[in-house]
Chain A
């Protein structure tokens, strides 16, 4: 009886672990992420999402005015939003887990870019008191997009769960952005990356502030 209880406990533990880790493919090399600010090199700090905030980790701000929004239809990929503004904060912990928050997509008047916004689950809406909390650096009123980095050749792939609401409905699924090391620092690239098997895809790139973090593939 005791061994059955132990087995059940182990099963629950395995389930809990698998539900809190991201969906990186097995067998892909893991990633170590380092905070390189100030010329030092130490593991990225943990990320804290308690209290409806994303805090910590190696944090970078990504922004561009040149993201294209592509809708993949039965007839082919139709680019609807051209040169959309798209910004987000990227948090990475020491094991390459990622959180994207403060996601903002927009554009000029009457462009489809303005119709896209991150999903807002009620469970993660901050309380008014939280909103007034000046000490928190990232108040979120939507679920951050959580992901996991993996090494792929000389670049890293961030596979994350995303969700946006649009005037047509909700697009959700796993999406992949690449992190590429360039002379000036890291750049995030979305190469017509679709959201799962849905019709939405993004195409664009976001140069990140140099000197904030480094990524190494685990052997």
Chain B
């Protein structure tokens, strides 16, 4: 290979790398951005009462949690279990004196940082001045909520 052709090849290779880098920056997001966006999207869907969209963005483990807690039976469908869970919340304790849930008025945790480890991530958030670490997991290229109740210790074996 002549020096000229070598430089030409190098130029093409450099151009390709530059193009890939620019393309990735322009049309892609970092994993941190995607985790942040996934949490915010979950919150928006929940506030809008779009339980189907919320369920789509929850891992199987999260769905199992919701299905098993509070109503003494096995999980059914995510949508049905989510509605049962929300209906189990005492009305007098929540929703600002209103008789029906007003999910839009619920203060939401704000993402302050993201830590990624492989296909798992922790969305560090702030809720009313207190930190809350929300586990997320990547499935089929999408980041999903991996722990509805944000437990810190061992989960029940049948939920893990």
A77 contacts the other chain (Cβ, under 8 Å)? yes
Are the CB atoms of A199 and B69 closer together than 8 Å? no
Are the CB atoms of B156 and A72 closer together than 8 Å? no
A152-177 vs B, CB cutoff 8 Å, 1 = contact: the mask equals 00000000000101111111110000
Measured in the bound complex, the distance between the Cα atoms of B132 and A173 in whole Å is: 12
Chain B proximity of A164: nearest CB distance (Å): 9
B153 contacts the other chain (Cβ, under 8 Å)? yes
A115 contacts the other chain (Cβ, under 8 Å)? yes
Are the CB atoms of A168 and B151 closer together than 8 Å? yes
- Please give, as numbers and ranges, the residues of chain B lying within 8 Å of A163 by CB-CB distance: 153
Measured in the bound complex, the distance between the Cα atoms of B153 and A219 in whole Å is: 38
Stretch from A37-45, A52-60, A140-148, A190-198 forming part of the interface with B: A190-198
Measured in the bound complex, the distance between the Cα atoms of B43 and A163 in whole Å is: 28
Question: Would you mind naming 9 contact pairs between A and B with Cβ atoms under 8 Å apart?
Answer: A73-B150, A74-B125, A74-B134, A75-B42, A77-B107, A166-B69, A168-B65, A168-B155, A200-B149
B88 contacts the other chain (Cβ, under 8 Å)? yes
Known A74-B109, A75-B108, A197-B131: A80·B70 in contact at CB below 8 Å:
yes
- Please give, as numbers and ranges, the residues of chain A lying within 8 Å of B154 by CB-CB distance: 169-170
- Please give, as numbers and ranges, the residues of chain B lying within 8 Å of A169 by CB-CB distance: 65, 149, 151, 153-156, 159
B129-158 vs A, CB cutoff 8 Å, 1 = contact: the mask equals 011111000000000010111111111100
> Out of A75, A79, A82, A170, which one reaches B152, CB within 8 Å?
A170
> Out of B69, B123, B128, B133, which one reaches A115, CB within 8 Å?
B69
Are the CB atoms of A167 and B156 closer together than 8 Å? yes
Known: A75-B43, A77-B106, A167-B68. 19 other contacts (CB 8 A): A71-B149, A73-B148, A74-B134, A74-B148, A76-B108, A77-B107, A77-B128, A78-B94, A78-B106, A110-B72, A115-B70, A165-B153, A169-B159, A171-B153, A172-B152, A172-B153, A194-B130, A197-B124, A199-B151
Are the CB atoms of A77 and B127 closer together than 8 Å? yes
A68 contacts the other chain (Cβ, under 8 Å)? yes
- Please give, as numbers and ranges, the residues of chain B lying within 8 Å of A119 by CB-CB distance: 153
| B 20-75 contacts with A by CB, 8 A | 39, 42-43, 46-47, 65, 68-70, 72
B118 contacts the other chain (Cβ, under 8 Å)? no
Are the CB atoms of A168 and B46 closer together than 8 Å? no
Give the size of the chain B interface in residues (CB under 8 angstroms). Answer: 43
- Please give, as numbers and ranges, the residues of chain A lying within 8 Å of B88 by CB-CB distance: 80, 112
Measured in the bound complex, the distance between the Cα atoms of B47 and A119 in whole Å is: 34
Measured in the bound complex, the distance between the Cα atoms of B147 and A115 in whole Å is: 18
Measured in the bound complex, the distance between the Cα atoms of B109 and A115 in whole Å is: 25
Among A68, A82, A119, residue most surrounded by chain B Cβ atoms (within 10 Å):
A82
Q: Which residue of B lies closest to A170 (CB)?
A: B153
- Please give, as numbers and ranges, the residues of chain B lying within 8 Å of A197 by CB-CB distance: 124, 131-133, 150, 152
Q: Which residue of B lies closest to A196 (CB)?
A: B152
Measured in the bound complex, the distance between the Cα atoms of B124 and A196 in whole Å is: 12
Chain A proximity of B103: nearest CB distance (Å): 7
Are the CB atoms of B89 and A76 closer together than 8 Å? no
Q: Which 6 A-B pairs have the closest CB atoms?
A: A170-B153, A199-B150, A76-B106, A169-B151, A169-B155, A82-B90
B99 contacts the other chain (Cβ, under 8 Å)? no
| A 174-204 contacts with B by CB, 8 A | 192, 194-201
Q: Which residue of A lies closest to B160 (CB)?
A: A169
Are the CB atoms of B89 and A78 closer together than 8 Å? yes
B3 contacts the other chain (Cβ, under 8 Å)? no
